[in-house]
Chains A and B, each alone.
Chain A
Amino acid sequence: MKIDRDEAKRIATLAHLEFDDPALERMAGEMTKILSYIDQLREVDVAGFEWTDPADATPLRDDMPRTPVDRDAVAANAPSFSDDGHFIVPKVIGD
């Protein structure tokens, strides 16, 4: 599977990563090499083992509230936190 610059750019945008041009070229090359190794999976006969989303995967629990995380501890880790307990972020709506 060959990953070219445009494909690498598409994937980077999905992944919320940005690369300068030389880094993007390098990444495209490395991904191509690694995916070429991974492409050997195509030769496997998987009859009877086809993957389907399991219906009964992780067990669920009752939707009961538990002890919340300490707000001061959260504030201490936050890049930007208001006095009334909100994470401060750049404006998203408007303009």
Chain B
Amino acid sequence: MTDLLNLPWHEAREQASGKELAAASLSAIDALNPKLNAFLQVGRDIGDGMPVAVKDNIVTTDMPTTCASRILSNFTSPFDATAVARLRAGGCSIAGKTNLDEFAMGSSTEHSAFGPARNPWDPSRVPGGSSGGSAVAVAARMVPAALGSETGGSVRQPAALCGVVGLKPTYGRISRNGLVAFGSSVDQIGIITKTVRECASLLGMIAGHDPLDSTSATNAVDDYAADLDAGVRGLRFGVVREAVEQLEGEVRANFDDALAVLRAGGAVIEEVSVPSIGYAIAIYYIVANAEASANLSRFDGIRFGHRSDRAKSLREVYFESRGEGFGDEVKRRIMLGTFALSSGYYDAYYGRAQAVRSKLRDDFNNAFARFDYLLTPTTPEVAFPIGAKTDDPLAMYLSDIFTAPANLVGIPAIAVPSGFSRGHLPLSLQIMAPHFAERALFRAANFFERETNYWREAPPV
């Protein structure tokens, strides 16, 4: 039965019932989670639909939502996130809540208040973040699919480091109702699976306008699987010059190999300039943190979450509860965001970051006028050892250098496995497309997956 967990869900279902597969999934979670720490909560309700893991910053009524923070360790939401409700309506069951960097702030899952998740390819290494638990749950074949969330790359980057598929849809494609807010102008729920086809299927299940999220798009939900087998002949792919010129070694060689695969399928590949792309991290760490400083002000010890025992005045309820409840990275980002929005600095920091963001969006529009897709590696490096970057916040932030632009501009982007390093750690190709072009994105990604089949190799756990 465990072998069946290596297959795409619909193929596995040809050989076993949903209930048998869900039971196998639960056994896999019980066997592997003590070592990998992917799940903070495990659901014991075995239905016969697809078990889907949900990142623990997306609310569920039947399990707590902690955001991997001490400030919310005792919180159970009175409502399901819209994406969760749609999964349930589609017959899926919620396998459990997965580990993340606290409040989705991080690129390694090391900032979880409940210990890091571990990369199934090498448990001494990070799985990436912030949706590390979700990526591990799928990569280790504990579940066929997981929801994560993205603000600067937090689905694609861990998917890349764990060798699985990770999608960030167009901003507004999936409702944010029930996703604990971090950066409201960039946040999106994302989907992690072993294969592109499964990802397309789940997007169709949960995408679509939601009256409870006024930033959700009214664009019609597409038939995302329709062009999966259409190939890439004649399609135009732009390699982002400013991203590629920094590449070297194994990542460079692997990226070039990926281009060769696409070219062999008849893709037209040229370099294209996205001049402002180098500023994306700087923009991101002002805009996302500024919005986070506002969004996290609701954690004040009053209505929910941790309230300090030592607080005697209202001021102390706020200061002590937040001081005790938030981890260092969260505090650092709130401080940066508060600074950027404070009087005297607002125009120079938040205003300027938004202006450069507009320029970045313009650069992407220009690129998409000539190309159907844009390409980069998903990350500049393979999974790093646990502890390697925790003393250097800026070094950690630079893990998002290729992923953050898509969040800032709102375009959809997908990470697909592209091979392995010499040390047998996963490498990943990132494909970006214009707003609401997810169907085209899946077309290109599926072609690449079918030509390379890297997803068939499971980690040695």
4 smallest beta-carbon distances between A and B, as pairs: A73-B78, A79-B307, A51-B354, A46-B355
- Please report B residues at the A interface, Cβ cutoff 8 Å: 74-76, 78-79, 211, 214-215, 276, 279, 281-283, 285-286, 293, 297, 300-307, 311-314, 316-320, 322-323, 326, 331-332, 334-336, 338-339, 342, 348-349, 351-359, 362, 393-394, 397
Q: How many residues of A contact B (CB 8 A)?
A: 45
Asked if A44 and B318 sit within 8 Å, CB to CB, the answer is no
Asked if A69 and B79 sit within 8 Å, CB to CB, the answer is yes
Assembly CA distance A95 to B339 (angstroms): 33
**Which residues of chain A have C-beta atoms less than 8 A from B359's C-beta?**
44, 46, 49
A54-95 interface code vs B (CB 8 A; 1 in, 0 out): 000011110000000110011011111000000101111000
**Which residues of chain A have C-beta atoms less than 8 A from B393's C-beta?**
30, 33-34
A79 to chain B: closest residue by CB: B307
Task: Check: A18 CB closer than 8 A to any chain B CB.
Answer: yes
**Which residues of chain B have C-beta atoms less than 8 A from A14's C-beta?**
338, 342
List 17 other contacts, CB 8 Å, given A16-B300, A19-B331, A80-B307. A8-B335, A11-B335, A18-B319, A27-B331, A38-B282, A38-B349, A38-B353, A41-B286, A46-B352, A46-B359, A58-B214, A73-B78, A74-B303, A77-B305, A89-B302, A89-B317, A90-B316
Assembly CA distance A87 to B314 (angstroms): 13
A38-50 interface code vs B (CB 8 A; 1 in, 0 out): 1011101010011
Assembly CA distance A90 to B313 (angstroms): 5
Cβ-defined partner of A87 (8 Å) among B282, B302, B348: B302
CB distance from B225 to the nearest CB of A (A): 30
Asked if B355 and A31 sit within 8 Å, CB to CB, the answer is no
Asked if B75 and A34 sit within 8 Å, CB to CB, the answer is no
**Which residues of chain A have C-beta atoms less than 8 A from B318's C-beta?**
16
Asked if B338 and A15 sit within 8 Å, CB to CB, the answer is yes
Asked if A49 and B339 sit within 8 Å, CB to CB, the answer is no
Asked if A38 and B286 sit within 8 Å, CB to CB, the answer is yes
CB distance from B428 to the nearest CB of A (A): 25
**Which residues of chain A have C-beta atoms less than 8 A from B312's C-beta?**
90
**Which residues of chain A have C-beta atoms less than 8 A from B317's C-beta?**
89-90
Give the interface centre of B334, B339, B354 by most chain A CB atoms within 10 Å: B339
**Which residues of chain A have C-beta atoms less than 8 A from B282's C-beta?**
37-38, 40-41
- The answer to whether A87 and B303 touch (CB under 8 A), given A17-B335, A34-B336, A41-B353, is yes
Cβ-defined partner of A49 (8 Å) among B313, B338, B362: B362
B275 to chain A: closest residue by CB: A44
CB distance from A31 to the nearest CB of B (A): 6
CB distance from B303 to the nearest CB of A (A): 6
CB distance from A76 to the nearest CB of B (A): 7
- The answer to whether A27 and B335 touch (CB under 8 A), given A90-B312, A90-B314, is yes
**Which residues of chain B have C-beta atoms less than 8 A from A79's C-beta?**
301-302, 304-307
CB distance from B246 to the nearest CB of A (A): 15
Asked if B285 and A16 sit within 8 Å, CB to CB, the answer is no
- The answer to whether A37 and B394 touch (CB under 8 A), given A30-B332, A73-B78, is yes
CB distance from A12 to the nearest CB of B (A): 7
CB distance from B152 to the nearest CB of A (A): 14
Asked if A49 and B358 sit within 8 Å, CB to CB, the answer is yes
**Which residues of chain A have C-beta atoms less than 8 A from B79's C-beta?**
69
**Which residues of chain A have C-beta atoms less than 8 A from B281's C-beta?**
37
**Which residues of chain A have C-beta atoms less than 8 A from B293's C-beta?**
15
Asked if B214 and A78 sit within 8 Å, CB to CB, the answer is no
CB distance from B270 to the nearest CB of A (A): 26
CB distance from B156 to the nearest CB of A (A): 22
A68 to chain B: closest residue by CB: B78
Assembly CA distance A77 to B342 (angstroms): 32
**Which residues of chain A have C-beta atoms less than 8 A from B297's C-beta?**
16
Assembly CA distance A93 to B109 (angstroms): 43
Asked if B320 and A18 sit within 8 Å, CB to CB, the answer is yes
CB distance from A93 to the nearest CB of B (A): 10
Asked if B338 and A78 sit within 8 Å, CB to CB, the answer is no
The B-contacting residues of A in range 1-37, CB under 8 angstroms, are 3, 8, 10-12, 14-19, 27, 30-31, 33-35, 37
**Which residues of chain A have C-beta atoms less than 8 A from B331's C-beta?**
17, 19, 27
Assembly CA distance A60 to B323 (angstroms): 35
Asked if B319 and A16 sit within 8 Å, CB to CB, the answer is yes
Asked if B335 and A77 sit within 8 Å, CB to CB, the answer is no
**Which residues of chain B have C-beta atoms less than 8 A from A89's C-beta?**
302, 314, 317
Asked if A11 and B339 sit within 8 Å, CB to CB, the answer is yes
**Which residues of chain B have C-beta atoms less than 8 A from A19's C-beta?**
323, 331
**Which residues of chain A have C-beta atoms less than 8 A from B362's C-beta?**
49
Assembly CA distance A42 to B283 (angstroms): 11
**Which residues of chain B have C-beta atoms less than 8 A from A70's C-beta?**
78
Asked if A61 and B352 sit within 8 Å, CB to CB, the answer is no
Assembly CA distance A8 to B338 (angstroms): 10
* A-B contacts, 10 listed (Cβ < 8 Å): A8-B335, A14-B338, A17-B335, A19-B323, A31-B336, A34-B336, A34-B393, A38-B285, A41-B279, A79-B305
Asked if A34 and B394 sit within 8 Å, CB to CB, the answer is yes
**Which residues of chain A have C-beta atoms less than 8 A from B75's C-beta?**
77
